């Protein structure tokens, strides 16, 4: 399998934060038009660099300083969708935290409307990619803000004709206690929104088991420390396994921010060997200087996956998307059409 195989492989991306996915090209164009001292190269980790979670989250604050108006939000969203489409991602669920910026007049409402407008404009271009959106709750926020985000998601799901499909919980995993958001997550479930929660990105067994039992999320982001040898517990593993809660796994992100010591040690292996639903994702392709193509290639190299296994990994991800059976069937047909060509050539 060469680089071309991984690029041509049809892919699903289910864990991509919009502002973390910004490419150097987009960032350079945005910075060029601003009176800012930020150098686009300083707003990401270069290949081989690592950093603490504190450093990672400082970068997000700096990126937010640049993406502080609707025009920039539009451009990032629009460019990110095109970049994933170029990598043969056929279905993507982007996620983003509605943000207000009084200095530019941007509100959480105009933020969400802008992201949806960019998604809609891409759809009008007939790119070969289906784009859905999750609205994110940041762990730093209050329950009231989380409730507002759920209300926004409910309102704009209707207005966007179903582009918004769910709610994400993210933010610095070392900050706050996610238990406080349980009423908001229950409200989201009441309205039929799906939940993708960052859980156990760092060891947090009590928070993790409480959220699992109270909410039963539809997917887990990272799940780095679910297993006992990583700071989790047997009960947590049993819960996740018995409920078959899919895991969004972001290999390079975990290595770069040092929550996993090396690719060989990544929990992908633990869950893949259990035949648990595992989805390869990028997290923040811009910040971590990676791509979904590279992440598949790294997974294949590290865990000695054959081309058939890689194809199956990508194909099985379709089962975990937050869309209806018709969309899943459409994607499965697409994968089957593309399969023969891809595997015969490799
Ligand atoms: C937790 C993360 C994250 O929402 O402005 N985010 N949250 N763990 C991670 N692993 C490294 N990577 C990104 O995108 C940036 C926001 O996504 C979340 C953080 O809340 C960050 O501020 P948006 O589009």
Map residue 180 onto helix, strand or coil.
helix
Residue 340 banded pLDDT, cuts 50, 70, 90: confident
Is there a contact between 287 and 56 (Cβ–Cβ < 8 Å)?
Answer: yes
**Residue whose CB lies within 8 A of the most ligand 1 atoms, among 53, 136, 285, 286, for a mutation test:** 136
The answer to whether the CB of 171 is under 6 A from ligand 1 is yes
Annotated catalytic residue 275: no
Q: Whose Cα sits closest to atom 18 in ligand 1?
A: 171
Q: Residue 87 corresponds to which tokens in the numbers above?
A: 């990598």
Which residues are CB-contacts of 256 (< 8 A; sequence separation ≥ 6)? Answer: 45, 49, 50, 51, 56, 288
Q: Which of 310, 246, 321, 255 is nearest to 282 (CA)?
A: 255
Could you tell me which residue, 346 or 136, shows the higher pLDDT? 136
Å from CA of 96 to ligand 1 middle: 8
The answer to whether the CB of 253 is under 6 A from ligand 1 is yes
Residue 34 has pLDDT above 90, yes or no: no
pLDDT for position 344: 63
Residue 253 has pLDDT above 90, yes or no: yes
Does pTM surpass 0.85? Answer: yes
Q: Which of 134, 135, 116 is nearest to 78 (CA)?
A: 116
Q: Whose Cα sits closest to atom 11 in ligand 1?
A: 253
Q: Rounded mean pLDDT of the chain?
A: 96
The 10s digit of each residue's pLDDT in 86-123 is: 999 999 999 999 999 999 999 999 999 999 999 999 99
How far apart CA 117 and CA 107 sit, in angstroms, is 15
Residue 198 has pLDDT above 70, yes or no: yes
What count of Cα atoms within 13 Å lies in the side-chain half-sphere of residue 321? 29
pLDDT for position 33: 78
DSSP 8-state assignment for residue 259:
S
How far is the CA of 284 from the CAs of 14, 48, 96, 142, 149, in angstroms? 12, 16, 11, 24, 21
Residue spans per domain, the chain: 3-345
Q: What is the dotted CATH code of the domain comprising 3-345? A: 3.20.20.140
The answer to whether the CB of 19 is under 6 A from ligand 1 is yes
pLDDT for position 137: 98
CA 182 to chain CA centroid, nearest Å: 21
Residue 343 has pLDDT above 80, yes or no: no
Residue 139 banded pLDDT, cuts 50, 70, 90: very high
């Amino acid at each position: 399998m060469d680089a071309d195989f991984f690029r041509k492989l049809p892919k699903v991306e289910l864990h991509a934060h919009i502002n973390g996915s910004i490419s150097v090209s987009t960032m350079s164009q945005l910075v060029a038009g601003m009176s800012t001292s930020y150098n686009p190269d300083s707003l990401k980790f270069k290949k081989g660099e690592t950093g603490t979670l504190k450093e990672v989250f400082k970068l997000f604050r700096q990126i937010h300083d640049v993406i502080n108006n609707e025009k920039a939000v539009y451009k990032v969203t629009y460019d990110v969708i095109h970049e994933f489409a170029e990598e043969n991602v056929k279905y993507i669920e982007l996620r983003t935290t509605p943000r207000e910026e009084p200095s530019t007049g941007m509100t959480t409402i105009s933020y969400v409307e802008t992201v949806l407008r960019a998604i809609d404009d891409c759809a009008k271009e007939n790119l070969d990619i289906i784009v859905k959106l999750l609205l994110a709750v940041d762990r730093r926020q209050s329950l009231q803000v989380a409730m507002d985000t759920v209300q926004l998601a409910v309102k704009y799901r209707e207005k966007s004709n179903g582009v918004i499909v769910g709610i994400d919980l993210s933010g610095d995993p070392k900050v706050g206690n996610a238990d406080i958001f349980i009423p908001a997550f229950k409200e989201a479930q009441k309205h039929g929104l799906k939940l993708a929660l960052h859980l156990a990105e760092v060891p947090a067994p009590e928070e993790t088991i409480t959220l699992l039992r109270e909410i039963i999320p539809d997917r887990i982001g990272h799940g780095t420390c679910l297993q006992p040898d990583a700071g989790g517990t047997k009960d947590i593993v049993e819960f996740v396994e018995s409920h078959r809660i899919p895991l969004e796994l972001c290999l390079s992100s975990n290595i770069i921010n040092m929550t996993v010591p090396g690719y060989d040690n990544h929990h992908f292996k633990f869950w893949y060997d259990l035949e648990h639903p595992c989805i390869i994702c990028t997290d923040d392709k811009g910040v971590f200087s990676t791509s979904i193509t590279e992440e598949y290639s790294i997974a294949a190299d590290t865990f000695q996956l054959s081309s058939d296994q890689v194809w199956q990994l990508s194909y099985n991800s379709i089962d975990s998307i937050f869309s209806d059976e018709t969309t899943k069937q459409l994607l499965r047909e697409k994968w089957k059409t593309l399969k023969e060509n891809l595997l015969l050539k490799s």
